[in-house]
Amino acid sequence: MNGRCPNVGKLTAVNEPGAVVARDLVKVFAKGSVRALDGLSFEVEAGTVFGLLGPNGSGKTTAVRILSTILTPDEGSASILGNDVVKRAAVVRRSIGLAGQYATVDENLTGHENLRMVGRLSHLEKKAASTRADELLGQFGLADAANRTLKTYSGGMRRRLDLAAALVGRPPVLFLDEPTTGLDPQSRQDLWVVIEQLVGVGTTVLLTTQYLEEADRLAHQLLVIDHGKAIAEGTPAELKATLGTTVVSVTFADSATAERAVGLLDPLVAGSPILDGNSVDLTVEAGPKVAAEALRTLDQHQVEVAGLALREPSLDDVFLSLTGHRSEGLEFDEPEQGGDHKAAPTPGYIGFDENLAGR
């Protein structure tokens, strides 16, 4: 992949300080039994990456679908560049791109045919659509595979093409819903470079991800949500700093021993020890001192330690402390809907024709 970046158009925000604004969003599914969003509010500064983190079922994808006009909120409001997502949905669709958790390009078409089709749906003339397809294929390192059907593409190539499809209309605001799920480490790194390049030329990105390393690298601001509510917000550094400077991780032979150790180690920390399987994590300021005290305490109570490690807090520690479990296994989080669900336009093709969404 070369170092060039897709050309992104510019739109001026109207009436709102943030490029993306959500105010008290509420969304209820399954005839009122599932409250996917429960008064969610946040604001995304233009030209930055805003990360949404949360466990499966927390409301991340529901929030993205409301912001991209696929769903309508039951309560609250949201705007993109000052345009209300309900009242001015057609305008919003023309200013956003959406790449979802799974590549949505047509595997029976070539890479060039896929992008050219999106260009035509974007009301580009045939020549302009073809030129734009060539441009994006080159910028995403796919020029050599332009005339191959997607059946021959790797997972990373398909994901890059999917992101390219979301950029055909040069949207100033881009929604990425777990864009690197299922990719190998190198393909994930390649896509991170593309996202960083996009932000470098002014694109606003709202990112949901299950990879905390990804959030730590890309996001300028993070919002952790659970059960449809915001439970923490800040930069990655700020969130990690709330835990302390050192994590003392004590490992035991089994979970039963770890559970017993929690009560013994509780007096050593200002907050509470975090039980994670057969290990107990203590987030503290004086790491070496607390580690020594932990070993003495456990030895006095004849609790055998299998291992001990000191490290800096990670976003995974933040996630665990806030939600009660680690981030592994986060998946698509929107409940099954009944009749209140609008049919979704194909992700990546969203917004280019006001008649495509909501059919």
Tell me: do 298 and 202 sit in the same domain.
no
Q: What residue ranges in the chain does DSSP mark as E strands?
A: 20-29, 34-44, 49-53, 75-80, 83-84, 96-99, 173-177, 204-208, 221-226, 229-234, 246-251, 274-276, 279-284, 307-311
Tell me: do 307 and 272 sit in the same domain.
yes
CB neighbour burial string for 242-251, b if at least 16 within 10 angstroms, e if fewer: ebbebbbbbb
Instruction: Report the pLDDT value the prediction gives residue 223, as an integer from 0 to 100.
Output: 93
Q: Report, as an integer, the average pLDDT of 217-234.
A: 91
Residue type, 167: L
Q: Are 212 and 314 within 8 A, CB to CB?
A: yes
Tell me: do 55 and 156 sit in the same domain.
yes
Cα 47 to its chain centre, rounded Å, is 16
CB neighbour burial string for 275-294, b if at least 16 within 10 angstroms, e if fewer: bbebbbbbbbeebeebbebb
Instruction: Report the pLDDT value the prediction gives residue 216, as an integer from 0 to 100.
Output: 87
Tell me: do 120 and 219 sit in the same domain.
yes
**pLDDT at residue 139 tops 90:** no
Cα 233 to its chain centre, rounded Å, is 14
Alpha helices in 201-249 (DSSP H): 212-218, 236-241
Of all residues in the chain, the percent with pLDDT exceeding 70 is 84
| 4 within domain boundaries | no
CB neighbour burial string for 230-239, b if at least 16 within 10 angstroms, e if fewer: bebbeebeeb
Instruction: Report the pLDDT value the prediction gives residue 244, as an integer from 0 to 100.
Output: 66
Q: How far apart are CA 206 and CA 17, in angstroms?
A: 16
Number of domains present in the structure of the chain: 2
Residue type, 48: T
Instruction: Report the pLDDT value the prediction gives residue 55, as an integer from 0 to 100.
Output: 78
Q: How many residues are present in the chain? A: 359
> And the tokens for 124?
């580009």
Tell me: do 62 and 116 sit in the same domain.
yes
pLDDT of 142-179, one tens digit each? 999 999 999 999 888 888 898 899 989 889 999 998 88
Tell me: do 164 and 296 sit in the same domain.
no
Question: What is the residue whose two structure tokens read 């995304």?
Answer: 44
**pLDDT at residue 227 tops 60:** yes
Instruction: Report the pLDDT value the prediction gives residue 10, as an integer from 0 to 100.
Output: 38
Tell me: do 157 and 284 sit in the same domain.
no
Residues in Cβ contact with 296 at an 8 Å cutoff, skipping those fewer than 6 apart: none
> And the tokens for 153?
């593409």
Res. 36 pLDDT band, cuts 50 70 90: very high
pLDDT of 64-102, one tens digit each? 999 999 999 999 999 999 999 999 999 999 999 998 766
Tell me: do 293 and 196 sit in the same domain.
no
| 79 within domain boundaries | yes
Q: How far apart are CA 85 and CA 67, in angstroms?
A: 6
CATH number of the domain that residue 263 is part of: 3.30.70
Instruction: Report the pLDDT value the prediction gives residue 102, as an integer from 0 to 100.
Output: 62
Instruction: Report the pLDDT value the prediction gives residue 327, as an integer from 0 to 100.
Output: 54
Tell me: do 223 and 257 sit in the same domain.
no
> And the tokens for 294?
């932990």
Q: Report, as an integer, the average pLDDT of 259-273.
A: 91
Question: What is the residue whose two structure tokens read 């409001």?
Answer: 77
| 352 within domain boundaries | no
Q: Are 71 and 25 within 8 A, CB to CB?
A: no
| 142 within domain boundaries | yes
Instruction: Report the pLDDT value the prediction gives residue 100, as an integer from 0 to 100.
Output: 75
Based on the number of CB atoms within 10 Å of its own CB, is 169 exposed (0-12), middle (13-18) or buried (19 or more)?
Answer: buried
Q: Report, as an integer, the average pLDDT of 17-23.
A: 90
Q: How far apart are CA 327 and CA 317, in angstroms?
A: 9
Tell me: do 174 and 74 sit in the same domain.
yes
| 42 within domain boundaries | yes
Of residues 266 and 57, the one with the higher pLDDT is 266
Q: Are 348 and 68 within 8 A, CB to CB?
A: no
**pLDDT at residue 42 tops 90:** yes
Last residue of a domain, one of 183, 208, 239: 239
Instruction: Report the pLDDT value the prediction gives residue 278, as an integer from 0 to 100.
Output: 93
Tell me: do 222 and 281 sit in the same domain.
no
What residue numbers bound the domain in which 99 lies?
Answer: 20-239
| 88 within domain boundaries | yes
Last residue of a domain, one of 271, 286, 312: 312
Instruction: Report the pLDDT value the prediction gives residue 65, as an integer from 0 to 100.
Output: 93
Report yes or no on whether pTM surpasses 0.75.
no
Instruction: Report the pLDDT value the prediction gives residue 261, as an integer from 0 to 100.
Output: 95
Q: Are 26 and 35 within 8 A, CB to CB?
A: yes
Q: How far apart are CA 83 and CA 20, in angstroms?
A: 9
Instruction: Report the pLDDT value the prediction gives residue 21, as an integer from 0 to 100.
Output: 96
| 342 within domain boundaries | no
Instruction: Report the pLDDT value the prediction gives residue 338, as an integer from 0 to 100.
Output: 40
pLDDT of 188-210, one tens digit each? 888 888 899 999 999 999 999 87
CATH number of the domain that residue 149 is part of: 3.40.50.300
| 15 within domain boundaries | no
pLDDT of 285-317, one tens digit each? 888 889 999 999 999 999 999 999 988 777 777
Tell me: do 212 and 261 sit in the same domain.
no
β-sheet bridge partners, residue 27: 37
**pLDDT at residue 103 tops 80:** no
